[in-house]
Amino acid sequence: MENLRDIHRAWGRTLSLAPPYQQPETPPTMPPPPPTLDQSPPEWTIWGRTLSLSLPYQHPETPPPPPLEEESQPQTSRKRKHSSNPKKQNWAETINPPFPWATCKRAKVYTIHHLLSKGFNTISGKVECGKCDFQSVLEFDLNEKFNEVVEFIENNKNDMNDRAPEAWMNPMLPKCEKCGQENAMNPIITKKRTINWLFLLLGQMIGCCKLQHLKYFCKHSNIHRTGAKNRLIYLTYVDLCRQLQPDLVLLKQL
């Protein structure tokens, strides 16, 4: 063994029984990643000090605060400005008179003296049977029927209390000439502006009108139109009598 060691020493090599040394495999080098904005700048160390090419740190600019929104307030109704111009009406002040005894103004009739002087002694109107739909024309004597209305008011004025009595609320209607049905002939009422008010007054059939018809009359007669139906019927009778005879003393006592 000593001879072998001498031989190897002579050759400058040392034999070992250990397995031959294998250098570890180095992983393949990957290309450097592309520079990013966040990549730190290069640095150099000179005389124990580290130099950097980075710019001095600046605080990022904070965006300006958004404008303050006005606090949401509950929606309130705005006050309507009153204009100097008068409010326009949705209806014309004058209309074509629907009947010869009616004026060109809505819900207005001529005086009884004017009508009698023009030869209008009778007032007519259309009626219809509520059972068989038979239609006919009724005529009332102007002077006679108006006196009946005035007499009825005189006899019942103390019990009315500014309300229409039962006879005006549920008037007795004429008998049907075709089917013989009692209390069946109702006045025909279509459009509000074509209501035959004088015919309804003389026949004491204003109670056949609906509430909207009575409000229409009071509206165009400058009468307060809120109230029960018996109140509006009473006011309609009173105003029509005043239109026929403005100087009627009886009505001033009501």
Q: Is 104 left (phi over 0), alpha (psi -120 to 50) or beta?
A: alpha
201 confidence band (pLDDT: 50, 70, 90): very high
Rounded mean pLDDT, 238-248: 93
Cross-strand bridge partners of residue 45: 50
Kindly report the length of the chain: 254
Q: What is the pTM of this model?
A: 0.65
* Residue-wise pLDDT tens digits, 75-110: 555 655 544 454 555 667 789 999 999 999 999 999
Domain segments of the chain as ranges: 112-252
